[in-house]
């Protein structure tokens, strides 16, 4: 009987199984994703590299700093001289010099010495009473066209829609403090109403009033930005017109579109799919999301379209 056909002992089989297990574990460790500590360490290294590059570009010698200060001082002095108020005599002389630019000048006939008349006749001008220089100056200035005054327009900030009356009533029942803040107005897309995804995306660049989070809540969201899964983020409630309350988690995600572009977005999770089903929300519906505080707890109020409210009440 050959060595291949010879049956292996139990110890040999066990040894082969252990070897294969070690090989599988080593391959899994190679493919294993990085830990949170490793991701933070890489972020810190990239930040230090950026700071060092910035400091290299920013660093200047003492002579360069003094030279820059001297140039800025000269520019300030020159601007002060240009904007320095003039005396009454200087202003009057400047006006007189500008006046002569508007006085029409007579054209001389060229080559007067080639004319046949040796002694041309000159029309006699009657003598008039000499006028004072101020009178002449006033008469000339009256004919000079004046600039039109430009009207200034004040910037009027855009008006946000007024909070619904039912929201104020809900806030009074829940001991809400402060004024409600409009977070976003958007048309729901297919991902917002998909029960498998169970989330409402709020792109950060479309947020209308971004001061609805406290400092601790902002820090909690920033610390949880490494991964889109895991912690619930900031605990919150969501209410609708019927004062029905749902438990929510408010997070910040790094999202990517089908075209390949990426952006940061706030996300409402938790019982969002139940909110969609209860209020009969569909793709394309325009909703409004408001924020308020109830006993220092973050709360959101959903204002669905009128058609969805009617359908949900009929159910």
* Domain positions in the chain: 165-314
Rounded to the nearest integer, the mean pLDDT of the chain is: 78
Choose the weakest-confidence range: 27-31, 61-65, 222-226, 237-241.
222-226
The three-state secondary structure class of 176 is strand
- Looking at residue 177, its pLDDT comes to 78
How far is residue 37 from each of residues 40, 163, 224, 226, 278, measured CA to CA in Å? 5, 44, 13, 10, 41
pLDDT band at 266 (very low <50, low <70, confident <90, very high): very high
Q: How many CB atoms lie within 10 A of CB 278?
A: 17
Asked whether 207 and 263 are in contact (CB, 8 A), the reply is no
Higher pLDDT, 31 or 21: 21
8 Å CB contact between 189 and 259:
no
pLDDT attached to residue 102: 64
Q: What per-residue string of b and e applies to 129-143 under the rule 16 or more CB within 10 Å gives b?
A: eeeeeeeeeeeeeee
| Residue 253 · residue 265 · CB < 8 Å | yes
Cβ(178)–Cβ(292) below 8 Å: yes
CATH of domain 165-314: 2.40.330.10
pLDDT on residue 152? 59
Contact by Cβ (8 Å): 249, 233? yes
pLDDT > 90? residue 93: no
Q: What is the pLDDT of residue 227?
A: 45
CA distances from residue 61 to 54, 55, 56, 57, 64 in whole angstroms, order as listed? 15, 13, 12, 12, 5
Q: What are the pLDDT digits (tens) for 221-245?
A: 877 554 445 556 899 999 988 888 9
Mean pLDDT of 280-287: 93
């Amino acid at each position: 009987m050959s060595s291949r056909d010879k049956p292996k002992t139990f110890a040999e089989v066990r040894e082969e199984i252990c070897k294969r297990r070690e090989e599988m574990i080593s391959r899994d460790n190679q493919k294993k994703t990085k830990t949170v500590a490793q991701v933070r360490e890489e972020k810190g290294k990239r930040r230090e590299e950026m700071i060092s590059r910035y400091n290299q570009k920013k660093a200047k010698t003492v002579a360069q700093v003094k030279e820059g200060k001297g140039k800025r001082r000269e520019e300030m002095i020159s601007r002060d001289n240009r904007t320095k108020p003039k005396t009454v005599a200087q202003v009057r002389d400047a006006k007189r010099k500008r006046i002569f630019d508007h006085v029409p000048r007579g054209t001389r006939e060229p080559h007067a010495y080639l004319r046949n008349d040796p002694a041309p006749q000159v029309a006699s001008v009657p003598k008039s009473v000499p006028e004072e220089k101020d009178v002449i100056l006033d008469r000339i200035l009256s004919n000079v066209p004046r600039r039109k005054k430009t009207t200034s327009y004040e910037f009027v900030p855009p008006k946000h829609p007024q909070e619904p009356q039912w929201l104020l009533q809900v806030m009074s029942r829940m001991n809400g403090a402060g004024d409600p803040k409009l977070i976003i107005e958007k048309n729901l897309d297919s991902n917002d109403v998909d029960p498998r995804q169970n989330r409402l995306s709020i792109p950060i660049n479309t947020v209308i009033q971004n001061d609805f989070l406290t400092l601790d809540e902002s820090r909690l969201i920033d610390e949880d930005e490494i991964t889109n899964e895991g912690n619930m983020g900031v605990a919150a409630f969501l209410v609708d017109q019927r004062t029905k309350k749902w438990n929510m988690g408010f997070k910040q995600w790094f999202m990517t579109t089908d075209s390949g572009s990426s952006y940061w977005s706030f996300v409402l999770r938790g019982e969002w799919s139940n909110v969609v089903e209860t209020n009969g929300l569909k793709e394309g519906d325009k909703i409004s999301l408001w924020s308020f505080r109830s006993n220092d707890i973050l709360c959101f109020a959903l204002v669905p379209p009128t058609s969805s409210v009617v359908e949900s009440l009929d159910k």
